[in-house]
């Protein structure tokens, strides 16, 4: 990053995008290697899940229709019922395995990108081999942060359900309006929690924070830059949903698209997804620096550089508060 720390806080929406693009272009070799090793498999897993799940769900849907038109108690009904039960079991098993693998590659990709940008920030020499040595050690910290974010979201959803039940019970006459207003506020809260979690991933790598501590630190950092960070997260999520829907349409049965054209569309979706994941990970790291600068916290580059070396040692030692020296500066 070529900008002074005092200047980073003034980066807006397009400034963050430009800064992220400059970093990727200036270090295109290392980012290309990370993309091929981690981001591309992540994208293929994401798209592969859509293709396979569409096929599996299509079979389940057909068997459900057949079961509805079959007399109960007949051998045919019992056979269809067993096939349908096996189909649901396979579908849910596949979904669970998919989310586990997706989470692993997502956290590995995040670890690689954040560590790489940290090295660029401190001026340290970085290469792909060093990154791949660091990644398995760093992603464990991100896993703990993910677990805590999942707990927070589960609690948030539980409270939301209770509040919705209370509102619809006592305001039955205007239930639709209450539900609409409630859904808007619920969605805003969910976006905020997810935004804090994404920034907490960067905090977990850059500082001596992980789990709930990283979430609390992230919340403090994002205050004042909530709109910018939430906008990026919302756009990222909407882009993922759009790609998912496009792939679902392409893979759907009965779509009059030649096989060669389908292959071209799938390749295009994969390309867009790779760019989206790569840029998204870089952007969320830049947002971390923007938030740090906004709160007038400066990371001492020399001490951070020294302790980045710990990641490539045989034993992993987390960064300590004394290692990352926070100073107050005045603009």
- As for how many domains the chain has, the answer is 1
pLDDT at 317: 44
Q: Is the pLDDT assigned to residue 7 strictly greater than 70?
A: no
| 242 inside domain | yes
CA distance 45 to 94: 12
| 179 inside domain | no
Query: Whole domain around residue 303: which residue ranges?
Result: 5-133+224-319
pTM of the model: 0.79
| 147 inside domain | no
pLDDT tens-place string over residues 56-93:
887 888 888 887 777 777 888 788 888 888 888 888 99
pLDDT at 316: 39
User: Which band of pLDDT confidence, cut at 50, 70 and 90, is reported for residue 1?
Assistant: low
Percent of the chain with pLDDT over 90: 16
| 16 inside domain | yes
CA distance 305 to 136: 19
Residue 125's φ and ψ, nearest 5 degrees, are -70, 130
CA distances from 102 to 20, 46, 49, 241, 294 (A): 24, 7, 10, 16, 33
């Amino acid at each position: 990053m070529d900008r002074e720390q005092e200047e980073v806080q003034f980066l807006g929406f397009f400034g963050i995008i430009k800064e992220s693009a400059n970093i990727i272009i200036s270090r295109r070799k290392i980012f290309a290697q990370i993309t091929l090793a981690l981001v591309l498999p992540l994208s293929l897993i994401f798209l592969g899940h859509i293709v396979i799940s569409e096929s599996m769900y299509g079979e389940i849907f057909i068997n459900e229709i057949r079961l509805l038109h079959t007399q109960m108690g007949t051998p045919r009904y019992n056979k269809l019922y067993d096939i349908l039960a096996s189909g649901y079991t396979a579908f849910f098993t596949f979904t669970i395995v998919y989310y586990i693998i997706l989470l692993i590659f997502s956290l590995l990709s995040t670890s690689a990108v954040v560590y790489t940008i940290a090295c660029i920030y401190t001026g340290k020499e970085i290469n792909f081999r060093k990154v791949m040595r660091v990644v398995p050690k760093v992603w464990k910290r991100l896993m703990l942060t993910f677990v805590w974010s999942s707990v927070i979201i589960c609690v948030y959803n539980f409270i939301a359900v209770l509040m919705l039940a209370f509102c619809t019970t006592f305001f039955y006459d205007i239930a639709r309006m209450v539900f609409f207003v409630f859904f808007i506020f619920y969605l805003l809260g969910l976006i905020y929690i997810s935004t804090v979690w994404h920034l907490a991933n960067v905090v977990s790598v850059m500082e001596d924070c992980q789990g709930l501590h990283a979430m609390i630190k992230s919340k403090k950092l994002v205050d004042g830059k909530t709109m910018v960070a939430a906008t990026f997260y919302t756009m990222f999520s909407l882009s993922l949903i759009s790609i998912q829907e496009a792939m679902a349409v392409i893979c759907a049965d009965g779509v009059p698209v030649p096989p060669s054209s389908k292959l071209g569309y799938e390749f295009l979706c994969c390309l867009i997804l790779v760019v989206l994941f790569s840029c998204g990970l870089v952007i969320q790291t830049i947002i971390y620096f923007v938030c740090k600068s906004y709160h007038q916290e400066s990371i001492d580059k020399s001490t951070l550089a020294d302790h980045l070396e710990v990641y490539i040692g045989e034993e992993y030692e987390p960064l300590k508060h004394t290692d990352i020296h926070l100073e107050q500066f005045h603009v």
